[in-house]
Amino acid sequence: MKGLLSIVISCSCYISILAAVDPYVRKPLYNAADRARHRLEKAEYNDKRIDKNIMRTLAIIEAKSIEGRVVMLFCATDCVSHREKIPAWISEFNKGTVVAGGVINYHFHRRRNRFGHHGVDAMLAQKPAVVVYFVANKAFPYNGDLDDKDEFVDFLMKLERQPIENPVGWDEINHFISSASACNLSHKYILRIHHPEECHDELWENLVRTFYPSKNVTFIELKRPLTPESTVIVRERLPKLLRKCQTLVVMHNGAYEEITEPMILKDLHERITEFTNEDCLDPQPHSIRGELTDIQLDFLSEELLIQRIEENPTYIVVGTVGGIAVIALAISIFWGLNGTSFVTK
């Protein structure tokens, strides 16, 4: 129980630190142990008692995967061989693979009573040992050979390295927004705009992982500062955006919605999944505006560039110093002339 409490407390502190950095997709971590206990009380068990081992495992899954990842090894037997190999492979993967979102955690559960969650009992009815990858409490079972290291590592790699589009030019950004504005009920576009230094968020990759292996969702990441052209494209085609440091937008079937409420990844996944615009001729809540002409883009980009120059403190200081220097020069010339040419003989 002390170990369980330490897991919950450490995770709570971890989330609190992240919330201080950027509360955009955060809310206080619920007590994973209490949540697991509540789920167990509602479940049906033959012996009608709470299995402490099951409660502990559920709490670990909740706590470790709420905004991270954990690989669970479930065994109907002692499975000594798998208990030695699987954590060693995960540790090697963590050390040798550069992925965002922190390391992958590991935990072992020896099933003695019916587990009752995540389809574990049905999988253990087929084979004595199973591995399940969890992210945001979403389960991804490994269906390969537990004795094949290469196959297992390939399974981890597919989940860890998710495709994220990183447009470089304004034309690429414009292309994705135009694709989202088309009448297409089957595809969604998730746009994230952020400043890497001011509001860095490692959990973006974990959000992407929760949608594996969906091919109907495209994730797009833009890093500030954007070029004037890119800024104009986003500002004019998605005019209702409120956030500045970090923006998260769901685009679907001609409509878009910015997500501004603090939430954990599991809730964020559900929010994105539930957002749907049924009628592309009447987009709700906001309509994606049409493409700009070349003349409009050039004019607005130049206007934005001038505005940035005017607001730049460096130019303000240089202008002020230059103005003072000109005034000082004029005064010195005046007094110089006053002391020579205008002296009455």
Q: Average pLDDT, whole number, for the chain? A: 83
Average pLDDT over residues 13-33: 44
Considering the four listed CATH numbers 3.30.70.2190, 3.30.70.60, 3.40.30.10, 3.30.70.360, the one that applies to the domain covering 170-296 is 3.40.30.10
CA distance 138 to 173: 31
Tokens of 2: 């002390």
2-160 and 170-296: identical CATH topology: yes
**How many CB atoms neighbour CB 22 within 10 A?**
17
- Residue-level pLDDT at 242: 86
- The answer to whether residue 197 scores a pLDDT higher than 60 is yes
Q: What residue type is 87 in one-letter code?
A: P
Tell me the pLDDT tens digit for each residue of 221-263: 999 999 999 999 999 999 999 877 889 999 999 999 999 988 8
- Residue-level pLDDT at 11: 45
Tell me the pLDDT tens digit for each residue of 7-20: 444 444 433 333 43
- Residue-level pLDDT at 38: 63
More confident residue, 340 or 147: 147
Q: Kindly give, in sequence order, each residue whose CB lies less than 8 Å from that of residue 164, ignoring residues fewer than 6 positions away.
A: 205, 208, 219, 220, 221
Domain ranges of the chain: 2-160, 170-296
- Residue-level pLDDT at 12: 41
| Domain range 2-160, CATH class | alpha beta
Q: Which pLDDT band holds residue 270 (cuts at 50, 70, 90)?
A: very high
Q: Which pLDDT band holds residue 340 (cuts at 50, 70, 90)?
A: low
Give phi and psi for 222, each to the nearest 5: -120, 135
CA 45 to chain centre: 38
As beta bridge partners, residue 69 has 135
Tell me the pLDDT tens digit for each residue of 274-309: 999 999 999 999 999 999 999 999 999 999 889 888
- The answer to whether residue 344 scores a pLDDT higher than 50 is no
| List of E strands, the chain | 69-75, 105-110, 129-135, 138-142, 188-194, 217-223, 246-252, 255-258, 286-287
